């Protein structure tokens, strides 16, 4: 039961940071509304780097891992990117239905890469 609670806390942290990043990028994007389409490979690399940076920032606030079970050590490297990617894909679908402009973070792949970067840093630097 503790493991499930720890997993949920780790997920909520990632989703909040990823959601705030998505909101911030949409806000910034409004200033460049008529820009040309960005290269998806550069965007994917950028979102991975943003995830790594966000992971470091999260360590300043939450320096310890939420998942303390040695039996499941490293599970967040798989679960968090998948859940983060699914959440960002869902946000993208909602934005599309509302006719809002999408950014590449509103896709499963870029959301998962962001989550992987954040999870990797938290995995490497927390105990």
pLDDT at 31 over 70: no
In a domain, 64, yes or no: yes
pLDDT at 14 over 90: no
In a domain, 104, yes or no: yes
Helix axes 108-125, 2-29, angle to 10 degrees: 130
How far is it, in rounded angstroms, from Cα 37 to Cα 50? 19
The per-residue pLDDT for 34 is: 43
Q: Looking at the whole model, is its pTM more than 0.85?
A: no
In a domain, 35, yes or no: no
Could you read off the pLDDT of 34-86 as tens digits, one per residue?
445 667 777 788 888 888 999 999 999 988 887 776 677 788 899 999 999 99
Parent domain of 106: 2-30+40-125
pLDDT at 113 over 90: yes
In a domain, 114, yes or no: yes
In a domain, 81, yes or no: yes
In a domain, 84, yes or no: yes
| Alpha-carbon torsion (72, 73, 75, 76), positive or negative | positive
């Amino acid at each position: 039961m503790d493991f499930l609670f720890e997993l949920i806390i780790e997920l909520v942290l990632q989703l909040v940071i990823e959601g705030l990043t998505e909101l911030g990028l949409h806000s910034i994007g409004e200033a460049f509304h008529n820009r040309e389409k960005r290269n998806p490979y550069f965007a994917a690399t950028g979102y991975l780097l943003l995830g790594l940076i966000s992971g470091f920032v999260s360590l300043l606030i939450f320096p310890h891992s939420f998942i303390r079970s040695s039996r499941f050590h490293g599970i967040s490297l798989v679960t968090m990117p998948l859940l983060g990617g699914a959440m960002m894909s869902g946000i993208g679908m909602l934005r599309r239905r509302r006719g809002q402009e999408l950014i590449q973070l509103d896709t499963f792949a870029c959301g998962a890469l962001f989550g992987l970067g954040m999870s990797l840093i938290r995995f490497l630097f927390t105990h």
